[in-house]
Amino acid sequence: MNIEVALFSGLTLGALYCLMAMGLTLVNSTIKFFNFTHGAILMTGAYFTWYFLEEIGLNYFASFIVTLLMTFILGVVVQRVIVQPLVNKEASGLMLILGTFVIGNLLENGFLLIFGGRLKRLPTPLEGHFSIGAATITYHSLLILLTTGVVMGGMAYFLLRTRMGMAMRCVAQNEQAAKLMGIPVKTVYRYVLGISSLLAGVAGVFLGSIYFMTPSMGGGPLSKAFTVCVLGGLNSIIGTVIGAFLVGILESTLILFFPMYYVTPALFLLMMFILLVRPEGIFA
Amino acid sequence: MEPILKCENVSKYFGDFAAVKDLSFQVNPGEVFGIAGPNGAGKTTLFNIISNIPFPPSSGKIIFNGAEIQGLKPHKICHLGLVRTFQIPAIFNEMSYLENVLVGGIFGRDFSFYHSNSKLSMDSAYEAIKLVGLFEERDKHPKGVPLFDIKRLMIASAVAMKPKLLLLDEPVGGLNSSEIMQLVELIRKLQSKGITVVIIEHVMTCLMAISQRVMILNYGEKLAEGKPEEVAGNEDVIEAYLGKEYRKYLRTG
Amino acid sequence: MKKIYIIILIPLAILIFLPAITQRTYILHLAVMSFVFAIISQNWDLTMGYLGLFNFGHLSFFAIGAYTSGILSINFQVSPWACLFLGGLTAMVAGSILTLPTIRLGGRVFSLFSFSFQQVLFYLIRSNPMGLTGGSQGLSRIPPLRVFNYSLQGASSIPAYYVALTLFLGISMTLYYTVKSPIGMAFTAIRDSENYAISRGIDPFKYRFIAVVVGAFFTGIIGAFYAHFLGVVGPEILGWGNVVLTCCMVEFGGLGTLLGPTAAAFLLTTLSNYLSGLEAYRNIIISLIMFFVLIAFPSGLAGIFAPIKTHAPKLTDLIKTRINYGERGEK
């Protein structure tokens, strides 16, 4: 393996992390808590697509679109079921973390019961690869990069150009003021969780096509997404994007030299270091 | 007579904005020193930087009893004898009245594990709560109680710390006239116990009645300083409070 | 007699005479496990409930206590009794490492830092450094505590039960008296209104440090006991399942009341063990119950048993009995 391959897979990985972490950042900056269902929803994204593709027989594109819808709805459900009741209570931070974790657990075990624990894999829609220099690039990775770009672009448009997007940004900056201006905060929360879950779902689909799918596949990516968020600044969207690609490239470079097993704890150590030295995140 | 508190060229900047700008003044031991000024003049910020809760000055020196205290850890400043109250009344919700005052009595005089000296702490707490007139209600819980009680508790917990200098931030805000009179009495009692008091107040009658000297701040700078009567007639002060139009009335009237 | 004494004394009596009441080792085992988790929860409540500090690395202290004790007694033949203390000591050192650099940076930083610390520790244990931790298999054949020539291992050993009970009562009482002392008063003050507490002479960093370190010490000791009692210990004690279960004990019991987490520990440990055969269904049932309790009883069990709250330190009661202040406040 050489540097070009590492760089390119780093980019792909970065795109994935970007999708995963963006949802966390969105939730954290508006509703101000760490959404522990995120990992499980990522998993549901993969399984939804698998279900519609394999069991119902839709084509890839249709399954993907349906998955987007389902994960969005799932996010809204999570908001109504656990976030809304707890968000204004005392010690809500802890309770939300516990609550979302419990929901995530329910999802994991539920899907385990429905789909079984056997490893599955999502087929890739585009086979084949080409070469640039010494690097072999699969069309699938290009598809991932492209889709991520489109999704990110869509999100940027949404945040900057639509009313709901503006409402979200207002709530993130000052919730009290937003309420006073008549912004329906509960609805904003629903959209935030819906979009964040949608992003997680997309990440899940891609992850499911590169690696294997199991009902507990969400845990690892969740931890990585955390690291990315902390690195990039918990409230900064641009920081998260940069952080995601940095971590992706860092990880694929590190894999060249160290065994895979040590990369995750290394990232955590990095996070601890960043917390000590620059708690607001590198790009706050 | 050495001043008990001396501020030399203290400033506090938030970015480019100067909340307190190059302020110098001093407070004499045993007096009641009033601070007034229009809203946003930097009065509470001044208390914040003197007590280092929640931030120290950006520059300048603060000298308390001959020692420089700027930037010292806030709880250490308390232990030296400089205690403050807050504009928005603060209370420990989960403790009774007496326990609230007791916190000051135990921790305010340099509590250390080995000599918890509970007797001394209890004594000072009891004295303090009697002084503010809340002895009868000492076992009540402070949820939903009148503002006057909370304000008195805040002062009592400060007094239990046996302070040398007390910074009172708008102690009579929100009180009716009878309560204001009682509080003025209380401040006089504190003064008679030898405690120096620096008081920020908007209610001018109260401020002028009890202060030996008064300082007026405007936009973070000192506008006037001196005896209450002198300051009240100061043209700049009137302009700051009421606007330029009133200045001409003073000259002709 | 005050209600509170009845509510505590009856279960206490049952626990003291439990080996006489039942011969079933399953129940004794359950009791010992409840003791262990009750200690973990109470100590976690010290930082989370009393000080409002979200310490997500609390179980690290348990694991450090367990593994240190195991490693020392297996590889270096240190006496298991000494290992109990050493386990606590090592956990205390870890607690200091965790708090000293981060406590000034704020609660958020501390939570994330302690969380990462626990993750790194988990991977470290699983990677079996220098062959010491046994990797994913964990440590086995940990020497038991011995009294004379009698080994105290497993629930069939009655003396082991009483050692566990003694630890449980001893540590619980120590925590109770700490919380009722001026230290506990400082904790409550810091949680209620930090700036006001500072203005009354309390150094929040000092007390946060004390809370974490004391909690770490006792959790380490009980971790060491756990290792010697079971004879085996594995990295799953740091796993998500355990973390969430223990966290729920603290949360459901009621933050800031030592008794609540204790009761919740007994309940959840029993429930978790009772359902242990059902695998995925078990997790779902537990999750559903947790979800229900979170929504229905946000302030936890202790909210129901309000008279038992050890919430506000009644220091005035302790001192009043020694100094008699009359009706008008004179001595």
| Per-residue model confidence as pLDDT tens digits over C207-225 | 999 999 999 999 999 999 9
Is residue A108 within 8 Å of residue A114, measured between CB atoms?
A: no
Straight-line distance from the first to the last Cα atom of chain C, in angstroms, rounded to the nearest whole number: 29
Confidence of residue C312 (pLDDT cuts 50, 70, 90): very low
Please give the pLDDT value at position A117: 78
On the 0-12 / 13-18 / 19+ scale of CB atoms within 10 A, C105 is: middle
Please give the pLDDT value at position C303: 59
Query: Between C182, C201, C313, which is nearest B116 by CB?
Result: C182
> At which residue do the structure tokens 């009133």 appear?
B246
Please give the pLDDT value at position B62: 95
Question: Which chain C residues are closer than 8 Å to B90 by Cβ?
Answer: 193, 195-196, 199
| pLDDT exceeds cutoff 90 at B63 | yes
φ, ψ of residue C311 to 5 degrees: the values are -60, -70
Question: Which chains are within 8 Å of A by 3+ CB pairs?
Answer: C
Give the percent of chain C with pLDDT over 70: 87
Contact C185 B73 (CB under 8 A): no
Query: How close is the nearest chain A Cα to the Cα of C237, in Å?
Result: 17
| pLDDT exceeds cutoff 50 at B193 | yes
Query: How close is the nearest chain B Cα to the Cα of C137, in Å?
Result: 45
CATH of B1-81+163-253, one of 3.40.50.300, 3.30.70.2500, 3.40.50.12780, 3.40.50.12280: 3.40.50.300
Query: Between A94, A113, A272, which is nearest C116 by CB?
Result: A272
Please give the pLDDT value at position C196: 93
Tell me the C-alpha distance between B29 and B4, whole Å. Answer: 5
| pLDDT exceeds cutoff 80 at C304 | no
Q: What is the pLDDT averaged over residues A190-212?
A: 89
CATH class belonging to C3-320 = mainly alpha
Q: What is the pLDDT averaged over residues B76-86?
A: 92
**Per-residue pLDDT reduced to its tens digit, B169-178:** 999 888 998 9
Is residue A264 within 8 Å of residue A23, measured between CB atoms?
A: no
Please give the pLDDT value at position C44: 94
CA dihedral B221, B225, B231, B235 (to 10 degrees): -40
For chain C, say whether B26 makes contact (Cβ under 8 Å).
no
| pLDDT exceeds cutoff 70 at C1 | no
Alpha helix segments (H runs only) across C193-314: 194-199, 204-230, 240-253, 259-274, 280-296, 301-304
| pLDDT exceeds cutoff 80 at A129 | no
| pLDDT exceeds cutoff 80 at C288 | yes
Query: How close is the nearest chain C Cα to the Cα of B214, in Å?
Result: 25
CA angle B127, B188, B191 (to 5 degrees): 70
Query: How close is the nearest chain B Cα to the Cα of C50, in Å?
Result: 11
- The strand pairing partners of B221, in sequence order, are B218
Contact C200 B161 (CB under 8 A): yes
b (16+ CB within 10 A) / e for A138-169: bebbebbbebbeebbeebeeebeeeebbebbb
Please give the pLDDT value at position A11: 86
Confidence of residue B9 (pLDDT cuts 50, 70, 90): very high
Query: Between C102, C124, C298, which is nearest A95 by CB?
Result: C298
- N residues, chain B: 253
Query: Regarding beta strands B67-68 and B59-64, do their DSSP bridges make them parallel or antiparallel, or are they unpaired?
Result: antiparallel
What HEC string does A152-176 produce?
Answer: HHHHHHHHHHCHHHHHHHHHHHCHH
**Per-residue pLDDT reduced to its tens digit, A219-232:** 888 888 888 888 88
| pLDDT exceeds cutoff 80 at B184 | yes
Query: How close is the nearest chain A Cα to the Cα of C109, in Å?
Result: 6
Rounded to the nearest integer, the mean pLDDT of chain C is 83
Question: Which chains are within 8 Å of B by 3+ CB pairs?
Answer: C
Question: Which chain A residues are closer than 8 Å to C284 by Cβ?
Answer: 106, 109-110, 113
Please give the pLDDT value at position C135: 82
Per-domain residue ranges of chain B: 1-81+163-253, 90-162
Please give the pLDDT value at position C319: 44
> Between A98 and C85, where is the model more confident?
C85
Rounded to the nearest integer, the mean pLDDT of chain B is 87
* C105, C112, C289, best to mutate vs chain A, most A CBs in 10 Å: C112
| pLDDT exceeds cutoff 50 at C315 | no
Q: What is the pLDDT averaged over residues C220-245?
A: 89
The chain B residue lying nearest C310, using CA atoms, is: B94
Query: How close is the nearest chain C Cα to the Cα of B177, in Å?
Result: 27
| pLDDT exceeds cutoff 60 at C252 | yes
Question: Which chain C residues are closer than 8 Å to A112 by Cβ?
Answer: 280
Confidence of residue C331 (pLDDT cuts 50, 70, 90): very low
> At which residue do the structure tokens 């990585």 appear?
A224
Please give the pLDDT value at position B116: 54
Question: Which chain B residues are closer than 8 Å to C202 by Cβ?
Answer: 75, 103, 107
Question: Which chain B residues are closer than 8 Å to C328 by Cβ?
Answer: 135
| pLDDT exceeds cutoff 80 at C285 | yes
| pLDDT exceeds cutoff 50 at B245 | yes
Q: Which of B212, C300, B144 is nearest to A98 (CA)?
A: C300
Contact B102 C192 (CB under 8 A): no
| pLDDT exceeds cutoff 50 at C320 | no
**Per-residue pLDDT reduced to its tens digit, C13-34:** 888 888 888 888 888 899 999 9
Asked whether at least 3 C-beta pairs link C and B within 8 Å, the reply is yes
Contact C196 B86 (CB under 8 A): yes
Please give the pLDDT value at position C283: 78
> Between C172 and B247, where is the model more confident?
C172
Q: What is the pLDDT averaged over residues B96-106?
A: 89
Please give the pLDDT value at position B203: 80
Q: What is the reported pTM?
A: 0.86
> Between A105 and A284, where is the model more confident?
A105
Tell me the C-alpha distance between A73 and A81, whole Å. Answer: 12
| pLDDT exceeds cutoff 70 at A40 | yes
| pLDDT exceeds cutoff 90 at C242 | no
Return the top range by mean pLDDT from A118-132, C155-169, C269-283, C301-315.
C155-169
- The strand pairing partners of C194, in sequence order, are none
> At which residue do the structure tokens 């209380």 appear?
B186
Query: How close is the nearest chain C Cα to the Cα of B136, in Å?
Result: 8
Please give the pLDDT value at position C66: 94
> Between C331 and A249, where is the model more confident?
A249
The chain C residue lying nearest A233, using CA atoms, is: C109
Tell me the C-alpha distance between B210 and B180, whole Å. Answer: 12
Query: Between A106, A234, A264, which is nearest C123 by CB?
Result: A264
**Per-residue pLDDT reduced to its tens digit, C93-131:** 999 998 888 888 877 788 888 989 998 999 889 888 887
Contact B135 C192 (CB under 8 A): no
Give the percent of chain B with pLDDT over 90: 49
Q: What is the pLDDT averaged over residues B177-201?
A: 93
Please give the pLDDT value at position A133: 67
- The strand pairing partners of B11, in sequence order, are B59
Across A135-139, B5-9, B41-45, least confident range = A135-139
Please give the pLDDT value at position B253: 39
For chain B, say whether C325 makes contact (Cβ under 8 Å).
yes
| pLDDT exceeds cutoff 90 at B57 | yes
Contact C290 A110 (CB under 8 A): no
Across A119-123, A256-260, B249-253, least confident range = B249-253
Per-domain residue ranges of chain C: 3-320
